[in-house]
Chains A and B, each alone.
Chain A
């Protein structure tokens, strides 16, 4: 008989790990019957990861076996797992078995351990096997060849019976590490690094046969939910397919004549706009007013901020007459507040994008940029991170405003805390307080816009009980001349002029 159907039947199937983020990194999970090494220093979370995979597997209807080799006792390990949300007591001993293989390993070596594992997998009908303390097996082997033979035979068995296997291992001798790395189907490394006074955990898939993965390190945290891994935003969203332009192309107007005129009617769907200004210049109030204008036009808005609590925002918004409380009560505006305390930037990006999708948000105000930048840990990622995030928001048709503090007291120029960001901005709006002839005035200018030729006009703005208003009228000529003179004399302007000459 020659049956082509038979030949296609044995294709590689995926087994989700059940770990948040890891399946995204692996493009769907581990391969059924594959043997994978999880390598990490002590304290990096590999035992939690192994247990989490087992509990996730049995929760999805599979059967799992956790074998230890001279690691902590099962009772101690289970006692520590009891506080984890994935821990399911009825599963232990029923669909998930814990067995020690150390005595067999000590008496009969790797060959004996292999026989034991085969028998256990068969008896437990396990479709997931985790072996913790594999470094012990390596240490008790007589040669590198013996380890290779053990892994090979384990691979053959795992593949045949469809039992996906994780080998948890720590620091080991170079020869053992080499044997493990070369033989297995995949290698997942957990890193624990110092980041200033803090520590950061990251996961990296350095080898994965049969599929591409999201390369590089991905930060993770260990909480009562176990390991939560956040794929790097630029890796997860960096290559979003081109999506059709959003159907709704109405500009997201501010409802402020001066600003809307300068921006061609408002902010285009999918555009990214930076609002720059000194502390107290009104960046947050401008963003809140823009969201409130959207709510009045029945558009969904999202405030994603770091520095002001929801009650502070409410007070602030209602102080200038914005119907903020009503907009929140009606669901037109959602406030997400994330205090900037050691959070992972990719977690923020994920949360932000989830909030955008959940409510089909059309207007997004991120207040402010520093809250995201500070969470990056590795600042060299900045450009790629923001580029990926802005592209994803663009592809979802969201008009986004980012607020940031300018470092310049005197200049109308694009001077953000994040230098990698400016190229991807569609619009830049600057808010300034200027003191001329003993008079303090508020000036707004659109420094960059992709909508039309740059609007050179400087607009006066005011913030009061009747809201945030931007005037269409130019400030008087004497005032502007004074301003220009001052700018020419400033050190930043001189530096810029020198650069131009070069």
Chain B
């Protein structure tokens, strides 16, 4: 079963995304900030990380940078969600982090699911 890590400090969103992703056949684990998120990446080795940008302790950009620094997990696809209207969130004085997709909140579920399926395939493999 494919695993998705959802990282967001908004509890209601994590809960809702968890339920929706589970209903699509994915295994879901979660964290409330970038720091915890990185720990969960090391433990769970998810197929995809879905993260918010603005979070306490450590933001989404730091999380992506942490993931890219892990040799065996550096290629894990990341979808970042943000309430910001601009992509500058990906860049700081240390450079630009690489994400698979950058979605503006409020995120439309159909669009998000479409992006996830494109990156890691459907949660439940349907017979051909």
Contacts and interface: CB of A to CB of B under 8 A. Distances in A.
Interface of A: 1-4, 6-10, 12, 33, 118, 122, 149, 152-153, 155-157, 159-162
B100 A1 contact: yes
Nearest to B110: A162
Contacts of A156: 10, 12-13, 15-16
A417 to B, nearest CB: 53
Contact of B103 (A6, A118, A161): A6
A2 B23 contact: no
A152 B14 CA distance: 12
Contact of A160 (B17, B85, B86, B100): B17
Given A1-B98, A4-B87, A162 B109 contact: yes
A274 to B, nearest CB: 54
A160 B23 CA distance: 15
Interface of B, secondary structure class, is mixed
A162 B19 CA distance: 16
B99 to A, nearest CB: 6
Given A1-B98, A1-B102, A10 B12 contact: no
Given A1-B99, A153-B16, A160-B17, A10 B10 contact: no
A7 B104 contact: yes
A425 B8 CA distance: 63
Interface of B: 10, 12-13, 15-17, 19-20, 23, 84-87, 90, 96, 98-111
B104 A160 contact: no
A2 B109 contact: no
A484 B102 CA distance: 84
Contacts of B86: 4, 7
Contact of A8 (B19, B98, B104): B104
Q: Which 3 A-B pairs have the closest CB atoms?
A: A156-B12, A2-B87, A153-B12
Contacts, number: 72
Given A33-B106, A122-B23, A6 B16 contact: no
Given A3-B101, A8-B104, A10-B103, A160 B87 contact: no
Given A1-B100, A160-B17, 13 more contacts: A2-B99, A4-B87, A6-B103, A7-B85, A9-B104, A9-B108, A10-B103, A10-B104, A118-B16, A122-B20, A156-B16, A160-B108, A162-B108
A33 B109 CA distance: 11
A116 to B, nearest CB: 12
Q: Which of A8, A152, A155, A156 has its CB near the most chain B CB atoms (within 10 A)?
A: A156
Contacts of A160: 13, 16-17, 20, 106-109
A341 B103 CA distance: 56
26 contacts: A1-B100, A2-B96, A3-B102, A4-B86, A6-B101, A7-B87, A8-B85, A9-B103, A9-B104, A9-B108, A10-B108, A10-B111, A33-B106, A153-B12, A153-B15, A153-B16, A156-B13, A156-B15, A157-B12, A157-B16, A159-B106, A160-B16, A160-B109, A161-B109, A162-B108, A162-B110
Contacts of B90: 2
B20 A161 contact: yes
Contacts of B20: 122, 160-161
Contacts of B110: 162
A6 B110 CA distance: 14
Contacts of B107: 10, 160
Contacts of B105: 10
B100 to A, nearest CB: 6
B83 to A, nearest CB: 10
A7 B109 contact: no
A7 B16 contact: no
Nearest to A163: B109
B108 A7 contact: no
